């Protein structure tokens, strides 16, 4: 019991952190920070074509990126620091707001929609682009507008406004769509092109960009009446009027001087890297108007827009808000409900993967320790090495992305036709189970080899068959030896299940990131999820200790040794 | 899928090399720092000074019960902000630094457990013999117990190194381009993701196999 | 009962057994001795087919071990074996140890097996230990249980592989007592041991081995009084000197 207590202590530790006076994020002003550190960090996207993405040789390029570099140039001039270092930092939809908030990134120009929720956490510059949210689909899919999506699988990128719109539409209009939230636009597009979704909903300009990446762009069309209009802005920290004014002035100058239109033409109506394709996305009236009269109008009506009237500059700290867990999500229910859903998936995935891992791993371990069948032993060894020496993450991607492509045509199609949660769950389940089986096999082998040879000989000498010797003597002993290492393997399964976050399964750590996207309250989300993992850990440890006590043999020390 | 196209890997080898350097950097830093810190933790856990043993146990248990993904995210998103608040220093691109710190602190917890077992595997008589020769506890630990513990645990330490090496691929979640992240990006850019994933898997497999065979051979030698 | 005909065995380049031949008749007690590494343990393990042999033939109770049609499992059920390290099954009670093979191999029902087990425990003087676990018993007690376990199978002969070598000196006696009694009851026994007192007292014959070969096979009195080879004489004098 004292050991269990010891593990409880992290809770106390975390409480101390939570209750101690929080360090106030010194809002010394971005310009001063830049001046003092001699560097500015710009946040860019990795696959938001053509706004901000990697061209050839991993160079960041794009429409928004060009604008951002202009702004950085203006800052250089303003501060009279020709040697100012410009650092680039890739961000994604799920971490961009946090990174701006926590001071890692000073300015982010990519494809971030200016909306009310985000304005609570960060400030937006003048609008740099106006898009409509539409659909990308195969020409032959039959999907022409949002109404056609009922009952179909639709992909969108996690943490975007499209994701929220799509969820809300699905709930309100009972369209019975299956929604996949991919990690970034590139992944969303891959899910579309590999046939796992019929349509990809996103900002139209991005859809044109993804279409340009396709092997045959003419197979894909952007369609549907825009569900919403979105205004992209650059993000920076809140309440830093000096910095924001400098950014806005620079952007306005670029727009009114006609330079912005040239930059537009460069990225939207001319060939662009990496494949030299032309997006053919002519400038819209809304954009023309924006360039004439730069502004920071956003298109969500529920919040009075920022007028630019100076708000008093004040030191802002982090606003703790544990109530956020009990407040309603866009799709109904509370955020706490998201966490319990995450907990459910984590437990379901881990426990089922563990059972399969035992089922596979124990025979493999026996085969691995076999002295009589070299072929069997070598096969088991090949299995163990194969699954042990490839990172779990790579294995997961192979199961999820590559395997369906390698299956014979109709099979692959059938797999991709399943509900997305089913696909994600199956991939994660098989991946975790086969991976863990290799580890279980090693533990079983080690235990069997640790049993003195005489035990098997004694069993055989009594006339038991080899199988009976395993069943009644060797395995029961091995089981006791392996119990402690198996406990930690079992705990590893829970921890490893968090890797499933990368293919979009809504398990616990994915929920943490999604909670951050939606609420922009990273501390609460991460602390809550960490506590849940600790809770799982304690429960398993407690259960396994009970089991160990139940199996203890009088006169023997733990682990079955004399 | 008709035929796999590995040409993008061929043309992108400088980028892959860049990624491999990041992977190697994180692995080696975490291994060395983790080993030093882990040894300290293991000794502390076995220390007769109760609060010290207790704190070390707390550290080890805490890090061992949280998924690595969460630790990486903590050190990337949250810890810098706390430090920033405490010291008022600006932070730049901390992806690599935060990953190295996260891995080192995380691995230390695992190394500590291995080394603790290693220290316990050295017969108690060795410590008594050291003391009987007039050495201090610390000197006996350093000069007699730890070398034997390392020797006994070398195979396990190597196995853990393979796990660490593979786990570095998880820096993917903070957008750091290690070998895997770079392979993924190239595959994404050129539309050859399946090929690049297979390639990355094969490379990890070869290196992992190499080290774990070495570990198995050492295991045989140690247990002989 | 046991006939060993020209048996040879090698581990790689190392010749462990070199043309060994011996005959053990029903009711005979034969002690095998020799310096360590002489191959005596290997020889006795071959008789139970725990080690394969490369040349020669072993026939136990009319059944050839080297015949591929022989069901080794059934043969082993009829040959009792006692090991140096007892090899009781640590996760089972003493009674479970005694019953396991009776139930699984002889298909006796549990009550019958327990009754038999209890009779044999009484015989080795351990009836009160039936519900304990092996680790709770002393070495001598464990080895007596191991003998009882082998007897539960109604063996036609018993093999002992250094049954007292890993016992504390004060426990050797209680195990030998059980073995002497067993020999007096007429059990066919092949015993690898250094206990020359036991050999003198109950053995009909002594087989002396060195470097994988049987150097002597003589009635025990002859062996002790007038060893036929210089090697055996040296071995005996060294044993008796201490």
Nearest to A104 among B88, B91, B190 (CB): B91
Q: Name chain B's partners: 3 or more CB pairs within 8 A.
A: A
User: Packing angle between helix A185-193 and helix A204-213, nearest 10 degrees?
Assistant: 60
Q: What is the pLDDT of residues B128-137, one digit of tens each?
A: 888 888 888 8
CB neighbours of residue A80 within 10 Å: 8
Q: Which of C77, C84, C91, C133 to mutate to test the interface with A (most CBs of A within 10 A)?
A: C91
- HSE on the CB side for A125, CA within 13 Å? 29
Token pair 């600006």 in the structure block, residue: B90
Enumerate neighbours of A (3 or more CB pairs within 8 A).
B, C
The pLDDT value given to residue A182: 82
Share of chain B above pLDDT 70, in %: 89
- Provide the CB-side half-sphere exposure for A300 (13 A, CA): 14
A460 touches chain C (CB under 8 A): yes
- DSSP string of A184-228? SHHHHHHHHHTTS-SEEEEEHHHHHHHHHHSSSGGGEEEES--S-
**For residue B74, what are the β-bridge partners?**
none
Task: Look at A389 and B82 and tell me if their CB atoms are within 8 Å.
Answer: no
Residue B76: helix, strand or coil by DSSP?
A: helix
Q: Above 80 in pLDDT, residue C169?
A: yes
- The whole-number pLDDT of residue B73 equals 83
Higher pLDDT, A27 or A486: A486
In the predicted structure, residue C170 carries a pLDDT above the cut 60: yes
Is the model's pLDDT at B94 over the cut of 80? no
**Does any CB of chain A come closer than 8 Å to the CB of residue C36?**
no
**Residues with Cβ < 8 Å from C81, sequence gap 6 or more?**
A457, A458, A461, C48, C150, C158, C159, C160, C161
Compute the nearest-CA separation of B133 from chain A (Å): 31
Q: What are the tens digits of pLDDT across the range A318-360? A: 667 788 788 877 667 788 888 898 999 999 999 999 999 999 9
Q: Convert the pLDDT of each residue in C74-111 to its tens digit.
A: 888 899 999 999 999 988 999 999 999 999 999 999 99
Asked if pLDDT for residue C190 goes beyond 60, the answer is yes
The pLDDT, as a whole number, for residue A186 is: 79
Q: Rounded to 5 degrees, what are φ and ψ at A381?
A: -65, -40
For C20, the 3-state DSSP assignment is strand
Question: Under 8 Å CB-to-CB from B114, ≥6 apart: which residues?
Answer: B38, B153, B156, B157, B160
pLDDT of residue A9: 53
Residues A279-304 have pLDDT tens digits of 888 898 889 999 999 998 887 754 43
Q: Are strands C14-24 and C2-11 parallel, antiparallel or unpaired?
A: antiparallel
**What is the helix (H) or strand (E) element at residue A519, kind and residue range?**
helix A508-519
Residue B81 vs residue B103, higher pLDDT: B103
Q: Please give the backbone phi and psi of residue B43, each rounded to the nearest 5 degrees, phi first.
A: -65, -40
Which residues in chain A touch residue C88, judged by CB atoms under 8 angstroms apart?
458
Q: Confirm or reject contact between C73 and chain A (CB < 8 A).
A: yes
CB pair distance less than 8 Å for A562 and C90: yes
Q: Which of A460, A463, A555 sits opposite C133 (nearest CB)?
A: A555
Q: How far apart (Å, rounded) are the C-alpha atoms in residues A456 and C81?
A: 13
CA distance A6 to A398: 39
- For range A453-465, the mean pLDDT: 91
Domains of chain B: 7-223 (1.10.3720.10)
Assess whether pLDDT exceeds 50 at residue A558.
no
ipTM for the whole complex: 0.88
């Amino acid at each position: 019991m004292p050991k269990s207590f010891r593990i409880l202590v992290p809770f106390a530790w975390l409480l101390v952190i939570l209750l101690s006076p929080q360090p106030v994020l010194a809002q010394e002003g971005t310009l001063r920070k830049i001046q003092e550190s001699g560097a500015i960090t710009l946040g860019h996207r990795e696959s938001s074509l053509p706004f901000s993405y990697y061209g050839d040789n991993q160079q960041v390029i794009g429409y928004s990126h060009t604008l951002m570099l202009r702004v950085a140039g203006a800052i250089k001039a303003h501060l009279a620091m020709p040697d100012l270092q410009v650092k680039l930092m890739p961000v994604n939809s799920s971490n961009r707001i946090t990174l701006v908030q926590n001071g890692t990134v000073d300015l982010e120009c990519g494809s971030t929609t200016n909306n009310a929720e985000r304005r609570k956490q960060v400030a937006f510059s003048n609008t740099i682009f106006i898009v409509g949210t539409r659909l990308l689909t195969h020409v032959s899919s039959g999907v022409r507008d949002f109404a056609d999506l009922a009952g179909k699988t639709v992909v969108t990128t996690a943490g975007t406004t499209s994701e929220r719109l799509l969820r809300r539409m699905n709930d309100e209009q009972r369209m019975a769509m299956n929604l996949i939230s991919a990690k970034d636009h590139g992944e969303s597009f891959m899910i579309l092109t590999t046939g796992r979704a019929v349509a990809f909903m996103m900002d139209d300009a991005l859809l044109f960009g993804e279409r340009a990446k396709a092997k045959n762009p003419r197979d894909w069309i952007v369609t549907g009446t825009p569900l919403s209009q979105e205004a992209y802005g650059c993000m920076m920290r809140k309440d830093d009027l000096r910095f924001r004014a400098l950014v806005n002035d620079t952007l306005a100058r670029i727009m009114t001087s006609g330079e912005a239109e040239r930059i537009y033409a460069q990225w939207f109506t001319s060939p662009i890297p990496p494949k030299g394709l032309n997006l053919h996305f002519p400038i819209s009236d809304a954009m023309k108007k924006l360039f004439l009269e730069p502004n920071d109008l956003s298109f969500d009506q529920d919040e009075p827009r920022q007028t630019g009237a100076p708000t008093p500059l004040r030191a802002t700290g982090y606003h703790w808000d544990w109530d956020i867990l009990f407040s309603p999500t866009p799709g109904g229910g509370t955020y706490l409900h998201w966490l319990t859903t995450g907990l459910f998936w984590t437990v379901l995935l881990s426990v089922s993967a563990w059972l399969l891992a035992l089922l596979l791993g124990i025979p493999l371990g026996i085969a691995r320790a076999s002295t009589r069948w070299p072929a069997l032993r070598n096969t088991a060894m090949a299995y163990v090495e194969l699954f042990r020496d490839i990172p779990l993450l790579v294995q997961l991607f192979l199961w999820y992305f590559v395997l369906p492509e390698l299956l014979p045509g109709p099979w692959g199609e059938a797999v991709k036709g399943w509900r997305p949660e089913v696909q994600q769950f199956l991939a994660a389940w098989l991946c975790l189970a086969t991976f863990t089986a290799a580890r279980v096999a090693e533990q079983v082998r080690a235990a069997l080899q640790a049993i003195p040879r005489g035990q098997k000989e004694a069993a055989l000498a009594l006339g038991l068959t080899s199988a009976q010797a395993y069943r009644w003597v060797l395995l029961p002993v091995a089981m006791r030896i392996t119990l402690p290492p198996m406990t930690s393997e079992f705990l590893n399964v829970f921890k490893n299940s968090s890797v499933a976050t990368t293919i979009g399964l809504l398990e616990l750590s994915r929920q943490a990131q999604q909670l951050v996207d939606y609420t922009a309250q990273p501390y609460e989300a991460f602390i809550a999820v960490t506590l849940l993992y600790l809770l799982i850990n304690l429960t398993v440890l407690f259960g396994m200790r009970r089991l160990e006590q139940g199996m203890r043999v009088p006169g023997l020390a733990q682990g079955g040794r004399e | 899928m008709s035929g796999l196209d590995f040409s993008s890997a061929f043309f992108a080898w400088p980028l892959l090399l860049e990624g491999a350097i990041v992977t190697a950097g994180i692995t080696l830093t975490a291994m060395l720092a983790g080993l030093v810190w882990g040894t300290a933790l293991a000794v502390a856990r076995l220390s007769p000074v109760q609060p010290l043993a207790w704190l070390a146990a707390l550290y080890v248990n805490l890090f061992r019960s949280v998924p690595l993904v969460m630790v990486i995210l903590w050190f990337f998103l949250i810890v810098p902000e706390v430090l920033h608040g405490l010291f008022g220093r600006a932070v730049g691109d901390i992806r690599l630094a935060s990953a190295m710190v996260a891995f080192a602190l995380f691995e230390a917890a695992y190394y500590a457990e291995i080394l603790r077992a290693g220290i316990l595997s050295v017969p108690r008589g060795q410590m008594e013999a050291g003391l009987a020769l007039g050495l201090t506890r610390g000197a006996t630990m350093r000069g007699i117990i730890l070398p034997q513990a390392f020797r006994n645990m070398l195979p396990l330490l190597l196995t853990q190194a393979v796990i660490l090496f593979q786990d570095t691929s998880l820096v993917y979640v903070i957008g750091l381009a290690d070998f895997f992240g770079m392979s993924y990006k190239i595959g994404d850019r050129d539309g050859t993701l399946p090929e690049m994933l297979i390639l990355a898997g094969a490379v990890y497999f070869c290196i992992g196999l190499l080290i774990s065979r070495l570990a198995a051979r050492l295991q045989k030698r140690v247990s002989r | 009962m046991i006939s060993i005909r020209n048996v040879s065995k090698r581990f790689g380049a190392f010749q462990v057994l070199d043309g060994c031949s011996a005959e053990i008749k029903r009711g005979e007690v034969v002690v095998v001795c020799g310096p360590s590494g002489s191959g005596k343990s290997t020889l006795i393990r071959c008789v139970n087919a725990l080690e394969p042999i490369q040349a020669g033939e072993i026939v136990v109770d009319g059944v050839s071990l080297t015949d591929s049609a022989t069901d080794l499992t059934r043969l082993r059920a009829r040959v009792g074996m006692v090991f140096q390290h007892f090899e009781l099954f640590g996760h089972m009670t003493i009674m479970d140890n005694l019953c396991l093979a009776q139930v699984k191999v002889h298909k006796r029902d549990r009550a019958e097996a327990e009754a038999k087990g209890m009779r044999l425990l009484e015989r080795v003087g351990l009836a009160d230990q039936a519900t304990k676990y092996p680790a709770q018993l002393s070495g001598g007690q464990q080895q007596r249980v191991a003998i009882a376990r082998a007897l539960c199978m109604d063996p036609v002969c018993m093999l002992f592989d250094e049954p007292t070598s890993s016992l504390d000196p004060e426990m050797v006696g209680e195990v030998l007592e059980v073995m002497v009694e067993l020999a007096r009851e007429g059990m066919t026994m092949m015993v690898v041991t250094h206990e020359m007192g036991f050999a003198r007292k109950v053995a009909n014959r002594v087989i002396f081995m060195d470097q994988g070969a049987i150097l002597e096979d003589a009635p025990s009195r002859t062996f002790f009084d007038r060893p036929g080879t210089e090697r055996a004489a040296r071995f005996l004098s060294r044993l008796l000197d201490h």
